[in-house]
Structure 1
Amino acid sequence: MIENRFIPRILILVAGNNGTIGRCSWNLYRAFMNRDDVDVICVGIHRFDGGLKGFDSCEFFSDKYGKQENSITKQVKWLKGIKESYCPDMTISTLYSTNLLNALSGGQDYKVGIFHAPHKQGRSLGLVKYAFSLLQYWFIFPKLDFCSCVSKEAEEDLKSIKTIDRSKIGTIYNVHQVDEILKKADIPLQEEVLPSPYIIYCGRLDANKAPIRAINALSKIKSQLSLVFVGKGDEPFVSELKKQVDDLGMTSRVFFLGEKSNPYPYIKAAKALISCSYSESLPGVIIEALALGVPVVSTNSSRGIWEILLADESYNISLADSYQTKWGVITSNHAFKDKSKEEQDVINLAHGIEQVLTYSRIPESEFLSKVEANTITMQFLSLINHEK
């Protein structure tokens, strides 16, 4: 007699087909697709031109982005129709905006919302938008069956919302395809002859990521070290960065390469990766650098940095100077709350760069096993298995 095996149906709801969260969503979707014990489909809200190719076969609510397409009522109705047709056992929404739709869509499915950052970071959006987001945290997100946080800091922050059952909040990290990262990193560079040695900044160029701190820190280091930027940003902001480089007389040491579809060879060839943000959650680029054996220097922009560098037990929100681990250096970030401390943060960042340059090949990090595809998918599946 052949035993009927329960094959859970997983619906993954993404906000869009591009950006950092888009890549995290694609990694999760692919991780489920690679399992033979689940049935999975992925749908999204906005399909953008030039998005990740993996989403090409997925259904999207709209190929445009405007007020009409932003109608929450229409999006909820659309999602309800998909759920009625597919009958998922679990729906995983991968961003704040899609968590809202997931919670409002009803159905008998087990609803999981992924939260990437502490809700307090929403204060930067302004009082009105932050107040509106709090209403969702208080009255809508409690309708989710589980709130999956990508870092322990985000988990602790979410547990401060009294209306959400603390037993329905936990940490499940983002999936990182380490084998693929290693494979892509071995593709030879063709279009640039890079300076040597150099440190690399890889990510969006914007005010919160604070790439100007990397430039100012480098200016305090008297060596042949160069700085390479891989990433894009709004033209006025990038122009200001380039002007600062000119003003400091550092045009021969700072290079802007723009966005790269495969940044890993550039990271692998670097002496270190630098992250100089004011506020982060669990920066994926730092995990990717560790996978490539590249040490990191990072401002103290979140507890997630300490998680990745396996120093969570030593977490110090008020770090005065720097803290060294086997995989990199964390430096102060007082300017996040007190702009008068910016100069001291930059000095400490420069010192952190000098410290990380003394590192040779770093040891393989145990953290990588926590973001492996099978580990993460099993954690999600255990949620519905527990319900059975």
Structure 2
Amino acid sequence: MKNILLIIPYGSVGGMERLALTFYNHYKKQGYKVKTVKLIKLKSDIINFGNDEYHLSKKDLSSFNVVNRFLFYLNSPLRIRRIIKKERFTHSISFGDMANIFSSLTCTKEFKIGSIHSFKSIELVSNSYFHKLTKLGYKTTYKNFDKVVCISKAIKEDLLEKCGFKFPEKLEVIYNPHDIEKIESLSNEPLKNTHEEELFSKKSVLFIGRLSLEKSPWHLIKAFHDVVYSHDANLIFIGDGDKMVSEHINKLIIQYNLKDRVFFLGRKSNPFKYLKKADVLALSSHYEGTPNVIVEAIAVGTPVVASYCTDGIIELMSLTKHIVKDENVIVEAGIVTPNLYKGTLGIPADNSFIPEEKKLSEALQKIISDKNFKINLKTERAQLLKKFDVNSISKQYVTPINNTTNAI
């Protein structure tokens, strides 16, 4: 009998947390003992695990001073070690850099699985203390994992070629699993109230995710500014996030006179019902891994417009290989637009329009004007979703690597 511990950073509605919930539900159905450790548990958590949940802090890291943050980093591996020993876990799966670092330092003997979910050569460009610690781990403590899962081929290549990852034999590409039947079922729930129904009665562009620097939602606001000249449309955000990002995009909304066209619904425990109602899902990220929300959009039949922030976008949205440079590329799941990243992360000092935002706007307008995108997605849906089957992926996670078939 497998006893599995899932180690996650937060309990928000982010991609890693939803992924952990998918694993939790599936492994429980298989009869395994499954528990979770949240590094940070907040009152606003959307994803919870009841009696199967531990936590290390009820305060967000942003509220820690330097000393308390250092002590948190120092003590967390020891606390996770005690939980592993107490519960006698046979397997652990950690999600994201912080959980990976802590897990790699527990000195425990369970089958230890780490996971990488984004393009690290971009994410770790700053020299913050934690980023330095993460990069050091790629050369040292990651040797303690039995397996490190990369959720796309592009992420694996990036780790080896640009991040100095020293243990290639530990890496395995496994796409994120999705419970497609459950997503479909949840997507059929009615919207909450008349206001929400009215929002989606117009042409609707939907963003789901954390309002963060890497998601760079200001590009989407600027692109949408052009959309409203020719379409009676709403831009709807589901999720919350970085205060600086929220303040910046709200200034843009006022600057472009979009207050009656852009709406923030906050966190939602069931984002799928909104996703199904939308005409298009939009991502304007500077970097990503393989965003779960794209697979979820495909599952409910909503076309996607996404910037070419990594090859992983193509892996999700198309059945064939494409390189996106200066022009939009139509694929089976929607449209991929040119990369918006210009070499620096952070709130932009200059709000001038860039050509890539114009291309993003053109893609949004094309999809909300043409029903054939939804028709084509319905035709290709089964083939696009084939590699995300939760049954096969959940087994692959807890199976030792066969390095004879683990080439890039």
Q: What TM-score results when the alignment is normalised by the length of structure 1?
A: 0.87
Q: Which residue of 2 aligns with 1:245?
A: 253
Does 2:358 match 1:347?
A: yes
Residues 139-188 of structure 1 deviation map (CA, whole Å, 9 limit, x = unaligned): 11122111111122111122336663322201122232222221221111
- In structure 2, how many angstroms separate the alpha carbons of the residues matched to 1:111 and 1:365? 32
Moved more, 236-245 or 367-376: 236-245
2:330 to 321, 324, 328: 324
Deviation at 1:237, TM superposition (A): 3.7
- In structure 1, how many angstroms separate the alpha carbons of the residues matched to 2:244 and 2:73? 32
Q: Confirm or deny: 8 A CA contact 1:13 1:43 kept in the other structure.
A: yes
- In structure 2, how many angstroms separate the alpha carbons of the residues matched to 1:182 and 1:377? 20
Deviation at 1:251, TM superposition (A): 3.4
Q: More relative contact order in 1 or in 2 (CA 8 Å, sep 6+)?
A: 2
Q: Confirm or deny: 8 A CA contact 2:80 2:106 kept in the other structure.
A: yes
Q: Confirm or deny: 8 A CA contact 2:13 2:268 kept in the other structure.
A: no
Deviation at 1:124, TM superposition (A): 4.2
Q: Confirm or deny: 8 A CA contact 2:209 2:239 kept in the other structure.
A: yes
- In structure 1, how many angstroms separate the alpha carbons of the residues matched to 2:330 and 2:275? 21
Amino acid at match of 2:355: Q
- In structure 2, how many angstroms separate the alpha carbons of the residues matched to 1:136 and 1:44? 21
Moved more, 330-339 or 302-311: 330-339
Amino acid at match of 2:117: H
- In structure 2, how many angstroms separate the alpha carbons of the residues matched to 1:258 and 1:88? 36
Unaligned runs of 5+ in 1: 1-6
Unaligned runs of 5+ in 2: 404-408
Q: Which residue of 1 aligns with 2:57?
A: 62
SS in 2 for 1:206: coil
Gap change, CA 1:42 and 1:231, over 3 Å in 2: closer
- In structure 2, how many angstroms separate the alpha carbons of the residues matched to 1:29 and 1:117? 22
Does 2:308 match 1:313?
A: no
Q: Which residue of 1 aligns with 2:166?
A: 164
2:210 to 204, 210, 229: 204
Residues 67-108 of structure 1 deviation map (CA, whole Å, 9 limit, x = unaligned): 547533422222222232333322211221121122211232
- In structure 2, how many angstroms separate the alpha carbons of the residues matched to 1:242 and 1:163? 39
Residues 341-386 of structure 1 deviation map (CA, whole Å, 9 limit, x = unaligned): 9510111111111232322332214232322321221102322899
Amino acid at match of 2:183: I
Q: Which residue of 1 aligns with 2:302?
A: 294
SS in 2 for 1:329: strand
Gap change, CA 1:143 and 1:351, over 3 Å in 2: same
- In structure 2, how many angstroms separate the alpha carbons of the residues matched to 1:233 and 1:85? 35
Moved more, 124-133 or 183-192: 124-133
Deviation at 1:281, TM superposition (A): 1.3
Q: How does 1:21-100 map to 2 (within 5 A)?
A: 21-36=16-31, 38-52=32-46, 54-57=48-51, 58-65=53-60, 66=64, 68=68, 70-100=71-101
Q: How does 1:1-388 map to 2 (within 5 A)?
A: 7-20=1-14, 21-36=16-31, 38-52=32-46, 54-57=48-51, 58-65=53-60, 66=64, 68=68, 70-126=71-127, 128-160=129-161, 164-191=166-193, 192=195, 193-194=198-199, 195-221=201-227, 222-235=230-243, 237-311=245-319, 313-316=321-324, 319-337=325-343, 343-357=354-368, 358=370, 359-361=373-375, 362-363=377-378, 364-383=381-400
- In structure 2, how many angstroms separate the alpha carbons of the residues matched to 1:82 and 1:159? 32
Kindly report the root-mean-square deviation, in angstroms, between the aligned alpha carbons of the 2 structures.
Answer: 2.6
Gap change, CA 1:320 and 1:80, over 3 Å in 2: same
Moved more, 74-83 or 237-246: 237-246
